[in-house]
Each structure stands twice: as structure tokens, then as C-alpha cells.
């Protein structure tokens, strides 16, 4: 009897060990700041990316892969959890807000299933918590070779050589391979020497990145693990030249993505080696895919679909990827979009703000500086100057098959009105489905969450989601017919509705001045984010004294960092900070507080 029990136990242990060892290793290489159009395998004739091009011949190349957000921390929050950042309240760059505990990092599930999980170099996951604690090892020296014998591994490796900072003036590297005059410059950018030089320099960075990817692949092969490891290569978002990173255009959100599945695990992939995959995918799909490849049940709170593995889910016939952009560093703004690789729709919920800049950080690049100077000097063509101005309309619609650089906005074309309406309704339905917390201004997060999370608040019955989203769409539409609605909502007990009603007045500009009496009480609103927007409306109506009085009172009284950031951004745009001598001390305090926070965020770059 004892012998039978011993043999049964031994059999179970052997079977368990075999099952664990039969799971594929997963190596995910994540380069920074490069969109797919920089790769040779994606059609760039000037690129030199031999290792990634070779990988594409061995794996599936995804032609329509998207980072849901065009900036790193926001995108990484979605990568780690399989949940859209606006669902969690993690859509603002380096915000570190608390998210509901049900949104767990994918590595927790992998580790529970026996995987040894490592993260080399970068965290930046954009929600409150210890980013390093989720992994078996998260450091510059993290390596799968340190795993326990017999354990499968998941290794997440960031390659930072292609980060936008590689083009900053403190790194004055000259172009090595291409001359600036040889560069094929895309039509959406002005032909400036500094931009051409940055393009040539960035081609070198892409080649450097390709070499580092090759080194990681070589290391895997030398360890004898290439045939036991699924390799995923992608970037964290697009960029980095002007109108790339931080923008919802394809150059900001369309990323390279290649998945190589070795022969022994080909049953986990519906794609053949060398196949070009047209189905749309995005970062929200990555966590479900990882778990599916590892044979782990996908949690219900994950919002994406598994692309490979036992739980592979076929794309819907009308599959579209949800895109989002909110505060980047100190610059506020809310944009949302949809794309399937053919049709692209974006909506700017703050069309009163200029399209550039979305951050001051980017001005470390000579190309950005030259671009702004050319605008200030009035020497740009209309299509190139438009980025520095507030857009005339809040909507953009593009047919990417005919217009890959997104130069011809079809939203104003009557022949596309039916498509425009369908995409607008689809976006609103998507925002409802994911319970988009971006409808709540960030400075109101803590006040309204009441000790919980903003996601809990927005998903509760307390928040009138339908009313707010309808109001936000109306506010951004610049339609004078909505003026009575805005006047009514100015008196709402809900500060979010007061905020969006006031945004509606700001967007309408002079057409909304008849609402000035109704708006007057909001200059002293309990919440600075509301009074700040109210003051901006009075600035639009050229009632500067009332606006300054309200803004400068907030400068003296406010202490919340996000309210300060929003207030500072408004003052900066209207050049009011320190304008009145007796308020300079308060203004200086605000500026120092805002920049201290910004500096703290920027120091995390490359962590």
C-alpha cells in the first residue's frame, strides 16, 4: 500500500513538473517611443533594422497594432493590467492615483501559475503602488537565467536607446548613416534643417535599438532557449519627432508588433511564420494574450481579447481600437479616438486649446524648438501652422487607406456625414462601455472619490454618467444651440456638470457671452478647476479684470497639486502669472509648486 502511494505521489510530481516545464517561456521586448513606420519590415526604405526585419520573417507581423495611449506611463498601465487606463483612473501622465484592487498586474497571475517573472530597467506603471514588488526581480540586472530550475519564465525587457530624450540637445550626436538632406520627410512636417537632422539622428537610434533587440535574441539562443520561448517585440507607443508622441495620430499610437512562436508551440498560434496579420489589436489585448499563452484563465475584469493561446478570441467583424490622451506633464486636455487601421476618428473635448504643445518636455529636441520658432516667425504653410492653434472643430475623420499621414480631415465633407455620425456614436458607446473616468477633471478626483477611487465613484450610481457624457459631447461641439443647456447646468449641484457646462461656454467664445450673469457665481466656485475655467470664459469675453481677480485669488488659496497644475496651465497660456506686482509672491509659490511636481515626474523617465 505504501509503495502504491509512493508511486502515485511520484507520478503526480513528475506530471506536475512536466506540465510546468511544458509551458512556454515568454520574452517580451519593449522598445521606447518608436512607431511602426520607422521599421524596414513596415515599409520604411530608409530604415536599417535587419534583426527586427528577420524576426518578422519568423513570426507574425501585426499591421494594425496600437498603443491605446501615445505616451509611456499611461500605455504601460494598460499593458500591465489588460484594462483601459481611463477605466481605472490612470489616464493622466505619471499621476499615481489609486486604482481598484480588482485591477491586478498580469504578473501576479503568471507568478501564481509558476512563472518566474522579471522586469529589466523600466516600471512607470502609472498607478499607486510599488512597481518593483509585482515581479520576482525588477532591476537593471533582472535576468531569466536566475529562475528556479524547471520554472518557465516571463521576461519583460525595455530598450530605452530610442527614447525621445536621445535627440535632446544635451546629447548632440551627429547623424552617422543618412545625411539630413537625404531624409524622406513626411508631408505633415515643415521642411526645416533641424527637423531633417533629428530625423537622420533618430534613424541611427532605431538602428541602435535594432542591434540591442538582436543581442537579446542572441542571448536567448546561446542559452539554448530559443525553441522554448515565445518572443514578442513591440514599442510602447509612437513618436518621437513632432506630431508623434502624445498625439492620437497614427505616428503617435500605431506601433510595431511581431510575435514569434517556435515550432513546438505553433498549436498556440493561428498565424504562420512570416504572416502579415491585418486584424486590429491594441495594448489592452496583451495581458489576456499572455495569460492565454500560459494556459491561465483570463479574469473577467480584463477588457481585451487573447490574440493567441488556448483562449484565443477572434476579432469582431467591426473591431476597433480605443485610443485616449489626457494630461501630459503639466498640460491638460482630453482626447479620445477609434481606429481599425482603415478608418480613424478622433474627438478633442477641449478644442479651445491649441494642439501643440502637449508638454514642455519635448522642447529638448532641436526640431521642436525650430518648429515653434518658425510658427512664431510666421513662415509656416497653413497645414504646418495648424498644430500651434486651437482647432476649428472637435472632430477628425480619416480614411487611412487614401491618407496614411492624416492630412485630409473628412469630418467637414458632407459626403462622409453618415460615416462621421456612426463613428461619433461608436466612440460615445465605447466610453460608456468602459466607464471612462476622463469625464471627471483630474483635480476633482480626490474630492469626489471620498476615500475610494475615482473608478469606484464613476462606476457607482452616484455619478450620473449618461448626463455627463452627453454634456461633454455637447460642450466640445461648439454648437450655439446648446447654450440653454449650458446655462441650466451651470447651477448643477454636480461640479463635473458645472465644469463641462463652463467648457461649453469657453468653446463657444463670444457666442456665449449672454451667459455671463449665470456664470458669475462660478468665479468663486468651491472647486478651483471650475472657477479657473469660468475665469477663462470671462477672458474670452474680454472681461479681464474679473478673470484675473478670480484666478489670482485661487493662486493664493489653492494647495492641491492637480488644481495647481490646471491653474498654472491656464495662467501660463494667458500670460497672467505674476502680471500684477502685489500677487507675484503668490504666483511664484504656484509656479514653484507646479514645477516641483513636474520635475519629480520627469526624473522618473527611464526608471
Domain boundaries, the chain: 22-315, 335-424, 464-602
For the ranges 119-128, 196-205, 326-335, the one whose mean pLDDT is highest? 196-205
107 — pLDDT class (breaks 50, 70, 90): very high
Residue 345: strand, helix, or coil: strand
Round the average pLDDT of the chain to a whole number and report it.
91
pTM for this structure? Answer: 0.92
CA distances from 110 to 103, 118, 138, 288 (A): 15, 11, 15, 11
- Angle ∠(349,350,354) on CA atoms, nearest 5: 135
pLDDT at 516: 97
Per-residue pLDDT at 291 exceeds 70: yes
Looking at the predicted structure, is the pLDDT value of residue 571 above 90?
Answer: no
The predicted model gives 443-460 an average pLDDT of: 96
pLDDT above 90: percentage of residues in the chain: 83
Parallel/antiparallel/unpaired status of strands 257-260 and 60-62: antiparallel
Strand-strand pairing, 335-339 and 321-325: antiparallel
| Cis upstream peptide for 205 (omega within 30°) | no
> pLDDT band at 581, cuts 50/70/90?
very low
In this predicted structure, the answer to whether residue 79 has a pLDDT above a threshold of 60 is: yes
Q: Band the pLDDT of 477: cuts 50, 70, 90.
A: very high
Cβ atoms within 10 Å of 451's Cβ, excluding its own: 7
**The pLDDT of residue 121:** 82
Distance CA(361)–CA(601), nearest Å, equals 11
Q: What is the mean pLDDT of residues 251-262?
A: 98
Is pLDDT above 80 for 13?
no
Write down the pLDDT at residue 237.
96
pLDDT over 50 (residue 381)? yes
The pLDDT, as a whole number, for residue 548 is 86
pLDDT at site 392: 83
Q: Is the peptide bond before 240 cis (omega within 30 degrees of 0)?
A: yes
pLDDT in tens, 407-424: 999 999 999 999 999 999
265-287 per-position pLDDT tens digit = 999 999 999 999 999 999 999 99
Q: Which stretch of 14-18, 229-233, 332-336, 568-572 has the lowest confidence by average pLDDT?
A: 14-18
d(CA 62, CA 321): 14
CATH of 22-315, one of 3.40.50.300, 3.30.420.340, 3.40.720.10, 2.60.40.1120: 3.40.720.10
Question: What confidence category does residue 316 fall into, taking pLDDT thresholds of 50, 70 and 90?
Answer: very high
Closest of 40, 51, 59 to residue 216, by C-alpha: 51
**What pLDDT score was predicted for residue 330?**
81
Asked if 351 contacts 504 with a C-beta cutoff of 8 angstroms, the reply is no
Alpha carbon distance 501, 530 (integer Å): 10
CB 345 within 8 A of CB 155: no
Structure-block grid coordinates of residue 174: 551627429
Amino acid at each position: 500500500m505504501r509503495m502504491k502511494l509512493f508511486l502515485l505521489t511520484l507520478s503526480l510530481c513528475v506530471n506536475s513538473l512536466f506540465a510546468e516545464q511544458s509551458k512556454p517561456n515568454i520574452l517580451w521586448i519593449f522598445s521606447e517611443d518608436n512607431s511602426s513606420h520607422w521599421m524596414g519590415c513596415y515599409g520604411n526604405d530608409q530604415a536599417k533594422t535587419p534583426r527586427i526585419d528577420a524576426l518578422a520573417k519568423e513570426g507574425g507581423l501585426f499591421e494594425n497594432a496600437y498603443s491605446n495611449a501615445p505616451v509611456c506611463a499611461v500605455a504601460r498601465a494598460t499593458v500591465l493590467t489588460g484594462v483601459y487606463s481611463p477605466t481605472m483612473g490612470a489616464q493622466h501622465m505619471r499621476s499615481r492615483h489609486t486604482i481598484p484592487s480588482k485591477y491586478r498586474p498580469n504578473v501576479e497571475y503568471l507568478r501564481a501559475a509558476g512563472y518566474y517573472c522579471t522586469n529589466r530597467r523600466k516600471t512607470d506603471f502609472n498607478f499607486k503602488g510599488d512597481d518593483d514588488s509585482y515581479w520576482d526581480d525588477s532591476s537593471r540586472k533582472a535576468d531569466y537565467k536566475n529562475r528556479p530550475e524547471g520554472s518557465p519564465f516571463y521576461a519583460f525587457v525595455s530598450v530605452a536607446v530610442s527614447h525621445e530624450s536621445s535627440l535632446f540637445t544635451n546629447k548632440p550626436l551627429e547623424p552617422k548613416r543618412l545625411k539630413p538632406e537625404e531624409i524622406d520627410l513626411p508631408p505633415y512636417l515643415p521642411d526645416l534643417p533641424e527637423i531633417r537632422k533629428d530625423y537622420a539622428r533618430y534613424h541611427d537610434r532605431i538602428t541602435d535599438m535594432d542591434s540591442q533587440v538582436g543581442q537579446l535574441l542572441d542571448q536567448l539562443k546561446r542559452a539554448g532557449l530559443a525553441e522554448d520561448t515565445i518572443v514578442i517585440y513591440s514599442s510602447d507607443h509612437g513618436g518621437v519627432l513632432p506630431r508623434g508622441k502624445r498625439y492620437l495620430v497614427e505616428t503617435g499610437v500605431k506601433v510595431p508588433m511581431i510575435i514569434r512562436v517556435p515550432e513546438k508551440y505553433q498549436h498556440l498560434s493561428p498565424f504562420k511564420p512570416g504572416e502579415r496579420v491585418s486584424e486590429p489589436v491594441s495594448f489592452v489585448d496583451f495581458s489576456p494574450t499572455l495569460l492565454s499563452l500560459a494556459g491561465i484563465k483570463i479574469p473577467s475584469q480584463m477588457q481585451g481579447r487573447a490574440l493567441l493561446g488556448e483562449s484565443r478570441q477572434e476579432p469582431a467583424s467591426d473591431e476597433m481600437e480605443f485610443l485616449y490622451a489626457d494630461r501630459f506633464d503639466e498640460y491638460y486636455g482630453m482626447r479620445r479616438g477609434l481606429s481599425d487601421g482603415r478608418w480613424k476618428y478622433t474627438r478633442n473635448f477641449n478644442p479651445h486649446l491649441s494642439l501643440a504643445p502637449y508638454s514642455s518636455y519635448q522642447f529638448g529636441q532641436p526640431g521642436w524648438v525650430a518648429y515653434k520658432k518658425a510658427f512664431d516667425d510666421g513662415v509656416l504653410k497653413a497645414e504646418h501652422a495648424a498644430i500651434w492653434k486651437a482647432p476649428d472643430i472637435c472632430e477628425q475623420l480619416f480614411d487611412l487607406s487614401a491618407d496614411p499621414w492624416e492630412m485630409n480631415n473628412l469630418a467637414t465633407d458632407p459626403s462622409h456625414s453618415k460615416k462621421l455620425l456612426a463613428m461619433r456614436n461608436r466612440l460615445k458607446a465605447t466610453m460608456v462601455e468602459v466607464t471612462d473616468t476622463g469625464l471627471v477633471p483630474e483635480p476633482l478626483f480626490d474630492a469626489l472619490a471620498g476615500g475610494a477611487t475615482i473608478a469606484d465613484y464613476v462606476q457607482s450610481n452616484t455619478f450620473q454618467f449618461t448626463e455627463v457624457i452627453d454634456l461633454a459631447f455637447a460642450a466640445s461641439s461648439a454648437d450655439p444651440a446648446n447654450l440653454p443647456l449650458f446655462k441650466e447646468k451651470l447651477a448643477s449641484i454636480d461640479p463635473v456638470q458645472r465644469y463641462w457646462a463652463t467648457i461649453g461656454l469657453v468653446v463657444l467664445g463670444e457666442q456665449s457671452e449672454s451667459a455671463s450673469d449665470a456664470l458669475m457665481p462660478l468665479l468663486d466656485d468651491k472647486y478651483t478647476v471650475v472657477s479657473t475655467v469660468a475665469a477663462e470664459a470671462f477672458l474670452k469675453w474680454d472681461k479681464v479684470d474679473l478673470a484675473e481677480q478670480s484666478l489670482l485669488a485661487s493662486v493664493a488659496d489653492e494647495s492641491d497639486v492637480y488644481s495647481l497644475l490646471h491653474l498654472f496651465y491656464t495662467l501660463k497660456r494667458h500670460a497672467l502669472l505674476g502680471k500684477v506686482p502685489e500677487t507675484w509672491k503668490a504666483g511664484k509659490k504656484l509656479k514653484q509648486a507646479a514645477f516641483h511636481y513636474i520635475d519629480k515626474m520627469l526624473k522618473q523617465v527611464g526608471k
